[in-house]
Amino acid sequence: MELLRNWSLKFFDNQLEKGYDWKVRNSENLEILNIKPYCPAVFIFNHSASDDPILAYKLIYPVAPERVDNVIVPVSEHHTKLTKFPLYSVGVTLSRGLLGFDTPKVVQPYRLRKDVTQNDELSKKSAGLARELFGLLDEKLPTAPLVLLSPEAHRSESGQLLPGEAGAGAIAKLMEKKKVRGEMGDGFFIPIGIEIENYTGKKLYYNTKDKSQVTFTVGRPITSAEAVAFGRIVSNGEKAESIVISHYLMSQIARLLPEGRQGVYHPDLIADTFKGRFIQRSDKNDNVYVYDIWNQQRFEMAQV
């Protein structure tokens, strides 16, 4: 079984080579994977294309192939419906069955902030899946998994950063709690900025005839202790809020992107983002947009 899985990973990696040309900036920031192989690492990246989780995996595999036998990729419960989203659903199935990844399902928070009446059944499902995800993380973090995570929890239509959700911050707090208890060593977040040349929206960019040009910019590793400490400072010494920590981690991704891609983490908006001005919402057709809480209206990203 292990032989088959190793073959599958190599085959998958070879197939990816056929559809993309790669350029990696600051690759030395990935060496932490080998320097501290017994520490969990969460790869956080901007999410604007269907390929993004695959691209993040492709970045990791050549650097630390021995660590891809313990990978966790939270996936959208809504988008795993085969009849509605076949490409996503098949991708999740292959990741779990062929590559052996853990793919816990989650309900993205923006789906609970709709323009229509609150869906109590969906809220219960969301809470249940969140418990399952954090139960899995609680069990697995001491085994030093690699976690692939988009803090935005949704692909951006424009390619500009959306306001992050609280999940990344909650993971940082869980890591720090387990470290204090002596259950694990340091936990790391590694920010990745993904830029696809000639980006035209949230589609799949894998192309064997005319390879897509992809640039990865790898940020410095951030310990869970640093992220949680920042959250406490912003919270004036009070208990660090998960959403504040997530905003901090998102701001580190923003630094790796051109200003035109920084969205609500652009220098002109980031202070308001930390103060809670922006959230993601979805309309009755599940189209996601940025909502301006202060002015109680949709926020047009073109305003940046």
**Structural domain includes residue 241:** yes
Q: What is the dihedral of CA 56, 58, 59, 64, to 10 degrees?
A: 120
pLDDT band for position 82 (cuts 50, 70, 90)? very low
**Structural domain includes residue 80:** yes
Any bridge partners for residue 278, and if so which? 292
Residue 118 carries which side chain, given as an amino acid letter?
Answer: Q
Question: What is the extent of the structural domain holding 141?
Answer: 2-266
pLDDT beyond 70 at 110: no
**Structural domain includes residue 223:** yes
Residue in 77, 282, 72 with CA at minimum distance from that of residue 162: 282
Q: Provide the domain count of the chain.
A: 1
- Percent of the chain residues topping a pLDDT of 70: 79
* C-alpha to C-alpha distances, 114 to 117, 186, 291, nearest whole angstrom: 7, 38, 11
**Structural domain includes residue 112:** yes
Average pLDDT, integer, range 268-294: 90
pLDDT band for position 100 (cuts 50, 70, 90)? low
User: What are the φ and ψ backbone dihedral angles of 4, each rounded to 5 degrees?
Assistant: -65, -40
pLDDT band for position 116 (cuts 50, 70, 90)? low
- Percent of the chain residues topping a pLDDT of 90: 44
Averaged pLDDT of the chain: 83
CATH of the domain at 61: 3.40.1130.10
**Structural domain includes residue 272:** no
User: What are the φ and ψ backbone dihedral angles of 47, each rounded to 5 degrees?
Assistant: -125, 100
| DSSP assigned state of 114 | B
Average pLDDT, integer, range 34-60: 84
pLDDT at residue number 237: 61
Model pLDDT for residues 136-195, shown as the tens digit of each residue: 999 999 999 999 888 987 777 778 999 999 999 999 999 999 999 999 999 999 999 988
Joined tokens for residue 195 = 């830029």
Average pLDDT, integer, range 126-140: 88
**Structural domain includes residue 252:** yes
pLDDT at residue number 5: 60
Average pLDDT, integer, range 230-249: 85
* pTM of the full structure: 0.88
pLDDT beyond 90 at 272: yes
Tally of residues, the chain: 304
Contact between 29 and 190 under an 8 Å Cβ cutoff? The reply is: yes
Average pLDDT, integer, range 246-269: 96
Q: Is the dihedral of CA 157, 160, 164, 168 positive or negative?
A: positive
**Structural domain includes residue 91:** yes
